[in-house]
Amino acid sequence: MPKRVLQGTVVSDTNEKTVVVRVDRAFTHPLLKKTVRRSKKYQAHDEDNSAKVGDLVWIQESTPISKNKRWVLVPNA
């Protein structure tokens, strides 16, 4: 099964080798037929601390790295 890849914006790079990425999605409400926006934050592994706040990045699923990290930054994306 292929690994999921998501696009998001870096909202925090304070932690060492970790970035927090906000992934936004939009969908149509089934009853109201109105576009609804939702966002979710993921902690992703950034081996060389290259991502900065505001950067647009791609993250990919991985095996658990720590308690909350299950995603890694896709290099050169």
**Position 15 pLDDT exceeds 80:** yes
Q: What's the token pair of residue 60?
A: 């990919």
pLDDT at res. 76: 74
pLDDT at res. 20: 98
pLDDT at res. 22: 98
Q: Tell me: domain 5-73, CATH 3.20.20.220, correct?
A: no
**Position 55 pLDDT exceeds 60:** yes
**Position 57 pLDDT exceeds 80:** yes
**Position 77 pLDDT exceeds 80:** no
21 neighbors 71 (Cβ within 8 angstroms): yes
- Domain range annotation of the chain: 5-73
60 neighbors 72 (Cβ within 8 angstroms): yes
Render the chain in DSSP notation, one character per residue.
-PPPEEEEEEEE--STTEEEEEEEEEEE-TTT--EEEEEEEEEEE-TT----TT-EEEEEE-S--SSS--EEEPTT-
**To the nearest whole number, what is the mean pLDDT of the chain?**
96
Q: What's the token pair of residue 2?
A: 């292929």
Average of pLDDT values for 43-66?
Answer: 96
